[in-house]
Amino acid sequence: MSQQNKFWKSTYIVTLALAVLTIAARPAYAVASYARQTGLACEGCHTVFPELTPFGRLFKMNAYTLQNVKPLEDINEKKQSTLSIGELPPISAMFVGSSSWTAHGQPDSVNNGKAQNGTVGMPQQLSLFYAGRITDNVGAFLQLTYDPSANSIGMDNTDIRYANRGMINDRELIYGVTVNNNPTVQDVWNTAPAWTFPFLSPMAVPTPTAQGSLLTSLLAQQTAGVGPYVYIDKSIYAEVSAYRSAQIGVATTPLDSTTADVIDTAAPYWRLAWNHEWGKNSIMIGHWGIYSALQPGNGMPIVGSATNKYTDLNFDAQYQYIGEDHLVTLTTNFLHERQRLDGSFQAGTSNNLNHLNRESLVAAYYYLRKIGGSIGLFNLSGNSDPLKYPSVGGSGNIQGSANGSPNSNWATLELDYLPWLNTKLFIQYTAYNKFNGSTGKYNLPMTTRSASDNNTIYAGFWFAF
Amino acid sequence: MMKKFMIVAVVALTAFVASAQESREGERVATDVCSNCHGKDGNSISPLFPRLAAQREEYLVAQLNAFRDRSRSDPHARAFMWGMAQSLSESTIKALAAYYAKQKPTPLPAVNSPLAAQGKHIYENGVDAQSVPACTTCHGNKGEGTEIAPRLAGQHTTYLVKQMEAFRSMLRENDVMHENIKNIDNDQISAVGAYLGSK
């Protein structure tokens, strides 16, 4: 391997490790300004935040525009509405404080013994939202997040949409257009990667390397997508969107060879779901997919270079029972990701053809929306690629893989107590059966760390106000 | 004569236009907003939300006003209807009530269980030993409602049970219902709910 290739390989590994740690700590959200705008308590839209009820899904598909407070209004000489905004700006905040511990302490970053075990986030995350109606048919979910690891404030999840309603052959129709920065953030079911359990993940703990290399992880908050959607008779949902790179934190514009994972032209995303509601029950069976050719960056010209092509095909289902006292949610996902990595293969940093499968099964139960929890089983598998999932020595040895396998499986149990509907106290435990290809010491001979050494206890509080 | 006729015609036309506008407003709000929970035409799917089709107009007006001025304060009213009703005008309340009163309830599957039969007996005869009067007195022989009490026929059983429990525990305000239902037990509530939910 040439010196240049070694340099890019090292850069790739460090970037991936940072991405894994950053993405793993990214929670999902629920906001109070929607409650102020609609006059509905949290339970109108959420079972337990941030999971949506059937009404919450409609609220989102209707572009967050339902309003029950007196607006400031204006009309023109033809009595057409020209302004309809709330008297108070729809501003909300969210605060997450937490601490996380691994079963065995992690190594010091400069190989100087062990680091402190028990990473405290105070905050782990602080977010400000503009979340609410902008016009009669346009609403937004805009999020600014303070990231303590970077000590900076940045753009987080964004979904701005237009929606309207109509009838076709006596069938109710909601139709609209979403503009967003994260494929699946516009989705209304809690199977979508942007909105699925675990909604909160611990800070600064090792997570399976391949998790961060999934396409949706690479594109989250680094893209801009636009697309139309329809929801017919609360039964059929269909959407087609196209995404382009809109990376944040990148100094050079336009995007060039110094930036990795830039979408070549545009990435199509599609979603089709069947929904049925009866009694206190609802069920969704659906599919989403995305295809994207990504420029590998790292010195490869942005135009004309071989690209890394990803095709994601996901099948998901959700069942909800929402009773007065008891609430149950079951979700499952089957994701197949095909990777034709022409760019990385030429650079000597991966196989040419790879695939990853990710399966999840999550069950949640709450009593009186006050106490309950979730248990999730997760499996990540694919072919070995020692270049993409390499054995890593030195300070990064907690993320490496001795056999180049992405295979990992784990379970996460979370118990929640909500003294108020907008306050969640949680304790979560994640246990790894297999980590980066092994049930035992997964990164020999670099380190003797075992899969179960990464088991993590994570506890904290989450306020939405 | 012609002048008088013109005045009557203008007044009649104005009333007709106002009525038509009110009707359209009722349908618009019902379709755009209320249908999210109460279903198309007021035939809700989820038993968390009552079926409003063919409900008595005067009852709907009274309830919407009670939500708006927050005099009805059971937990479900606080969570959902306080917010939804807070900016409704008098005319919209009337329009909504008129709209739902005209809607046709979709039939529910008939239930011939012993529980429903027991409920029918309680509904029609009351329970003398517990000082529970017959429900028919206020709610009509077939649960169709009267000027003083709401329609109950075809309502979700779960919703009816929840409301009867709310009256019994005084979570929901109504002096008459507090008195009538204070001695009824859980099994009897379930029976009455099963009977009315199957009508």
Expressed in angstroms, the distance from the first to the final Cα of chain B is 55
Across the interface, of B32, B45, B84, the residue whose CB is closest to A68 is B84
For residue A69, give every residue at least 6 positions away whose Cβ sits within 8 Å of its Cβ, in sequence order, or none: A36, A37, A39, A86, A87, A88, B86, B87
pLDDT of A17: 44
- Residue B133 CA to residue B178 CA, distance in Å, equals 12
* Regions in chain A scoring below 50 on pLDDT: 1-28
Contact A55 B86 (CB under 8 A): no
Contact A44 B78 (CB under 8 A): no
* Average pLDDT score over chain B: 88
For residue A150, give every residue at least 6 positions away whose Cβ sits within 8 Å of its Cβ, in sequence order, or none: none
Cα separations in angstroms, A372 against A41, A50, A109, A189, A427: 19, 14, 37, 20, 11
Contact A324 B162 (CB under 8 A): yes
Q: Give the CB-side neighbour count of residue B5, counting CA atoms within 13 A.
A: 2
Collapse the DSSP code of A405 into the 3-class scheme (helix H, G, I; strand E, B; otherwise coil) and give the result. coil
pLDDT of A257: 87
Beta strands in A303-370 (DSSP E): 308-322, 326-341, 353-367
All residues of chain B having their beta carbon less than 8 Å from the beta carbon of residue A278 are 45
Q: What element of type H or E holds B93? A: helix B90-102
CB B11 within 8 A of CB B17: no
Beta strands in A221-280 (DSSP E): 223-232, 236-245, 262-263, 267-278
- Prior bond to A254 cis, omega within 30? yes
Please tell me the distance in Å from B74's CA to the nearest CA on chain A.
Answer: 13
pLDDT of A321: 96
Q: Which residue of A has its CA nearest to B36?
A: A55
- Residue A462 CA to residue A212 CA, distance in Å, equals 24
For residue A304, give every residue at least 6 positions away whose Cβ sits within 8 Å of its Cβ, in sequence order, or none: none
pLDDT of A30: 61
pLDDT of A20: 42
B5 pLDDT band, cuts 50/70/90, is: low
pLDDT of B132: 93
Residue labelled with tokens 């035939």: B43
Residue A166 sits at the chain B interface (C-beta within 8 Å): no
Across the interface, of A44, A172, A280, the residue whose CB is closest to B79 is A44
CB A399 within 8 A of CB A435: no
Chain B, 31 to 60: residues with Cβ < 8 Å from chain A are 31-33, 35-37, 40, 45-48
pLDDT of B15: 57
All residues of chain A having their beta carbon less than 8 Å from the beta carbon of residue B160 are none
Q: What element of type H or E holds A209? A: none
Strand A353-367 with A326-341, pairing: antiparallel
- Prior bond to A198 cis, omega within 30? yes
Render A72-91 in DSSP notation, one character per residue: EEEE-TT--EEEEEESS--E
- Prior bond to B75 cis, omega within 30? no
pLDDT of A199: 95
For chain A, state the CA radius of gyration: 22
Please tell me the distance in Å from B77's CA to the nearest CA on chain A.
Answer: 10
List, for residues B56-65, the tens digit of each pLDDT value.
999 999 999 9
Residue A173 sits at the chain B interface (C-beta within 8 Å): no
Residue B109 sits at the chain A interface (C-beta within 8 Å): no
Residue labelled with tokens 């940093």: A349
Q: How many CB atoms lie within 10 A of CB A77?
A: 5
- Residue A186 CA to residue A164 CA, distance in Å, equals 16
pLDDT of A14: 42
Q: Which tokens is A372 given? A: 């309950």
What own/partner pairs with CB < 8 Å and gap ≥ 24 does A379-382 have? A379/A408, A379/A409, A380/A208, A380/A210, A380/A211, A380/A356, A380/A406, A380/A407, A380/A408, A380/A409, A381/A356, A381/A357, A381/A406, A381/A407, A381/A408, A381/A409, A382/A210, A382/A337, A382/A354, A382/A355, A382/A356, A382/A357, A382/A406, A382/A407
Please tell me the distance in Å from A172's CA to the nearest CA on chain B.
Answer: 8
- Residue A248 CA to residue A246 CA, distance in Å, equals 6
pLDDT of B9: 63
CB A216 within 8 A of CB A181: no
pLDDT of A267: 97
Provide the 8-state DSSP code for B139: H
What average pLDDT score do residues B46-72 get?
Answer: 94
